[in-house]
Amino acid sequence: MAVKDVKIEVAWPQGAEWKLHAETVKVKGPKGEVARSFKHPVVKVQSESGKLFVAAPKARKGDRALAGTWAAHLQNMGVGVTKGHQYTMKIVFSHFPIKASVQGTRFVIENFLGEQFPRKSDIIGTTKVQVAADKVTLTGPDIEAVSLTAANIEQSTRIRGFDPRVFQDGIYIVAKGE
């Protein structure tokens, strides 16, 4: 097995400030604040001379892969607090018009396939959800919270027991981006 030292420098966008406390990295920017804990026996997040590194001394293949993943997570945090992350979803229906709304920290879907009771989905973290006609826009600094909220909404309109080629009603992700 090949054992190598890995040290990846994290590139930060202009306007993102980070702080490292033990194993937790907090990133602040104009769009918000994101914090995440990075714990592993081999892979560590280190700061040296004002720069942030993901280091793994004597790392095996899996540890090197994890170091790259952590570096990507940190870069996503930097992009999220400066530019933000955005998902666009489309409401699709054929017969029964779907009514979607935001009530506090829940996304409510009414009249889905003519059902009497509304379907509800949780909005995760600081994600902001806007409904306009047949479009749902999710924005926020944390890519994991935004994508998990979009997945929750998509899964809450999943159809069971019907042919999906015929019954294509639902709320679907159509675009991901900054």
Predicted confidence band at 165 (pLDDT cuts at 50, 70, 90)?
confident
**What gap in Å lies between CA 123 and CA 142, rounded to an integer?**
12
- Crossing angle for the helix pair 143-156 and 61-82, to the nearest 10 degrees: 90
Per-residue pLDDT of 123-141, as tens digits, reads 999 999 999 989 999 999 9
Per-residue pLDDT of 70-90, as tens digits, reads 999 999 999 999 999 999 999
The whole-number pLDDT of residue 112 equals 92
Whether pLDDT at 50 is above 90: no
* DSSP annotation string for 104-172: TTEEEEESGGG-SSPEEEEPPTT-EEEEETTEEEEEES-HHHHHHHHHHHHHHT---SS-TTT---EEE
Q: Give backbone dihedrals phi and psi of 134, rounded to 5 degrees, phi first.
A: -105, 20
Q: How confident is the prediction for the chain on average, in pLDDT?
A: 91
Instruction: Give the pair of three-digit tokens for residue 161.
Output: 């027991």
Q: What is the DSSP letter of 93?
A: -
Residue in the block written with tokens 């966008």: 13
Whether pLDDT at 33 is above 80: yes
One-letter amino acid at 101 equals S
Whether pLDDT at 111 is above 90: yes
Whether pLDDT at 1 is above 80: no
The domain defined by 4-82 folds into Outer Surface Protein A; domain 3 (3.90.930)
Q: Stretch 101-117: mean pLDDT, rounded?
A: 93
Domains 4-82 and 85-177 fall in the same CATH topology = yes
The whole-number pLDDT of residue 178 equals 64
Q: What long-range pairs does 164-168 form, CB within 8 A, spacing at least 24? A: 167/94, 167/113, 168/92, 168/94
Domain definitions of the chain by residue range: 4-82, 85-177
CATH class of 85-177: alpha beta
Q: Stretch 60-75: mean pLDDT, rounded?
A: 92
Per-residue pLDDT of 86-96, as tens digits, reads 999 999 998 89
The whole-number pLDDT of residue 144 equals 93
The whole-number pLDDT of residue 42 equals 87
